[in-house]
Amino acid sequence: MHAVTGHYTRVARNINMERLRNNYLFPEISVLELEHIKKYPNAKVISLGIGDTTEPIPDIVTLSMADYARALSTREGYRGYGAEQGNKALRKAIAETFYGDLEVKDMEVFVSDGSQCDISRLQLLLGSNVSVAVQDPIFPAYMDSSVIIGQSGDYQDETLKYRNVEYMTCGPKNHFFPNLSTTSRTDIIFFCSPNNPTGHAASREQLEQLVAFARENGSIIVYDSAYSAYITDESPRSIYEIPGAREVAIEISSFSKFAGFTGVRLGWTVVPEELLYSNKVPIINDFNRIVCTCFNGASSIAQAGGLTCLSSEGFQAMLAVVDYYKENAKILVDTFASLDLKAYGGVNAPYVWVHFPGSRSWDVFAEILEKTHIITVPGSGFGPGGEGYIRVTAFGHRETILEASTRLRSLFP
Ligand SMILES: Cc1ncc(COP(=O)(O)O)c(C=O)c1O
């Protein structure tokens, strides 16, 4: 919060901003981390909190960005604005690399500066008059952006939920997939797989049910596949692997966790041509309009790096880093298993979702921080369905993950 001075304007606060509860989760945790460091200046704090990548980006990728950037200082190499939808070669490479024979056309791929930014642009596209369903727990940008654009009603302290939002509870009891027979119809279904925070990747059968549900109800699925590179088993990596999905789903994805681009910023959204509004107008036309009006294309330097990530050498280098994080995840899963704690995820995602039955997430977060100097994320920050859980990230240097494992083992012997 900024300091309040004597002067104030005559501008009323946006009612939707007024509706938002709590601060955005991750900055709130950063504040607690800083307070902890102040209290224990000599402690070696380990952050398994915010899911930020830690390993260096392979040389092949950074050199391509450096070359591109250097060329901007030459007459021949200088480039200004690019196409708002992204560089043609990159759109093609994304379609080929991530969608292979799934019929995704280059022109259906919109390159972005990251999927979080595209979540908001999609909200702008959808507007405030649509009804929405969200997984519970879910990555907070979905719920918060729905509130900000005006899709929700007021927050209810009794239920810890916003009104007019369909919360699709996902936990071990329902194999982390909502019971669709009791889920109300909504216009939009936000669905993230592999899921942040639970780490669960929906199975083919689950996604077939989801697509059938959307088709029956005339709904649109906004499918977030930001962690698809982490899928180890047979789970689909894209919603378009499910027949019929092209007519009901938008997919957003990212280079952040696949290529360590959390700071570089690059992602994409696929809007299939067959996806239509009730008046039969193609949604891709409107998304194109939003991108041209509210964005202006991703950084050309980031796009040069993205293209190299998708070269065969670049891709192998990216996957090696993903494998490194997956090994970290295994260390964490094994740690919690050895402590007789139920830990989910960590196989198809860089997140481990740990259950502390009967405890409150913030209490577990505080106890772990106080006694081990490890930052986690309280599960309830992802929605009421996350109460009793904490999320632990597998992003970290190996020695840090091993040290965290040792400290956790001593806390819960
Ligand atoms: C599910 C999910 N979607 C989107 C994002 C945002 O990614 P980006 O860095 O591409 O904005 C994240 C980041 O943690 C995420 O977990």
Q: Which domains does the chain have, with CATH numbers?
A: 15-56+314-411 (3.90.1150.10), 60-311 (3.40.640.10)
d(CA 5, CA 3): 6
For residue 181, give the nearest of 197, 199, 168 by alpha carbon.
168
pLDDT at residue 177 in the model: 98
Q: Residue 171: CB within 6 Å of ligand 1? A: no
Check pocket membership of 194 for ligand 1, CB cut-off 6 A: no
- Give the nearest ligand 1 atom to 50 CA: 14
Residues near 267 by beta carbon (within 8 Å), at least 6 away in sequence? 111, 112, 113, 114, 115, 117, 118, 226, 252, 253, 254, 255, 256
User: pTM (2 decimals)?
Assistant: 0.96
Instruction: Name the residue among 309, 304, 376 with its Cα closest to residue 343.
Output: 376
193 in contact with ligand 1, CB cutoff 6 A: no
Ligand 1 atom closest to the CA of 117, numbered from 1:
11
pLDDT value of position 232: 94
Question: Block means of pLDDT (10 residues each) for the chain, length 413 residues?
Answer: 80 95 79 92 93 96 98 97 97 97 96 97 98 96 96 94 97 97 98 98 98 98 98 97 98 97 98 98 98 97 98 97 98 95 97 97 95 95 96 97 96 75
What distance in angstroms lies between residue 114's CA and the mean position of ligand 1's atoms?
Answer: 7
Residue among 139, 145, 266, 325 whose CB has most ligand 1 atoms within 8 A, to mutate:
139
* Ligand 1 pocket mutation, candidates 222, 250, 253, 256, criterion most atoms within 8 A of CB: 256
Rounded to an integer, what is the distance from CA 50 to the centroid of its chain? Answer: 11
